């Protein structure tokens, strides 16, 4: 990182065997920001024509959970800024990213689907949520639900998943299958 004088961010792959380890090493090397995560192009197969095709690969509305988890794990543990990317389609998902500890989010799919003016809708909905919660600025809520700030941080680990499987009836009551 000493080779450049401008801030440099890294858009990370999801395929590291230990993402937190590589992030901490890059943070120590002076990276200015981490984008969670890069998404490589994924071709599909057209069954009728039996040939490869190139769909847009737009995001789905729960894709934000992976970057959300890593933002929550990283908040307060790295010097670099944390950027969430993938599945941030509405203002409420941006609010979740802030609570987990993100500094910023990137938005592509929402703009493809709804047009660039959708950013204003997301901003308005985020402002409305912050108003309801009496947050005057993003820094008032950023990281409030990061691993560092939770008394019981197991939602960020596999522990919570195992607990749900041990009590499936209770889990289904709390999180009904849509």
Contact footprint for ligand FMN (CB under 6 A):
38-39, 56-59, 63, 85-88, 107-109, 112
- Smaller CB distance to ligand FMN: residue 67 or 101? 67
Exposed / middle / buried, residue 144 (Cβ in 10 Å: 0-12, 13-18, 19+): middle
From the CB of 70, what's the least distance to ligand FMN, in Å?
A: 14
Q: Give me the phi and psi of 140, to 5 degrees please.
A: -70, -25
From the CB of 51, what's the least distance to ligand FMN, in Å?
A: 20
- Smaller CB distance to ligand FMN: residue 38 or 157? 38
- Smaller CB distance to ligand FMN: residue 23 or 84? 84
From the CB of 129, what's the least distance to ligand FMN, in Å?
A: 19
- Smaller CB distance to ligand FMN: residue 83 or 99? 83
The radius of gyration computed from the CA coordinates of the chain, to the nearest angstrom, equals 18
d(CA 105, CA 138): 12
Dihedral sign, Cα of residue 62, residue 72, residue 137, residue 140: positive
């Amino acid at each position: 990182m000493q080779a450049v004088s401008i801030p440099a961010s890294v858009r990370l792959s999801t395929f590291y065997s230990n993402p937190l380890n590589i992030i901490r090493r890059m943070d120590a090397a002076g990276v200015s920001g981490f984008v969670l995560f890069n998404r490589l192009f994924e071709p599909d197969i057209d069954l009728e024509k039996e040939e490869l095709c190139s769909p847009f690969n737009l995001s789905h509305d729960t894709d934000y959970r992976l970057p959300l988890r890593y933002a929550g794990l990283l908040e307060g543990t790295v010097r670099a800024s944390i950027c969430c990317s993938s599945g941030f389609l509405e203002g409420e998902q941006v609010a979740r990213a802030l609570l987990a500890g993100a500094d910023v989010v990137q938005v592509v799919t929402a703009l493809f689907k709804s047009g660039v003016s959708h950013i204003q809708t997301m901003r308005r909905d985020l402002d409305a949520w912050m108003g309801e919660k009496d947050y005057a600025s993003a820094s008032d809520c950023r990281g409030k639900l990061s691993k560092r700030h939770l008394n019981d941080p197991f939602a960020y680990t596999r522990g919570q998943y195992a607990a749900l499987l041990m009590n499936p009836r209770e889990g289904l009551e709390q999180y009904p299958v849509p």
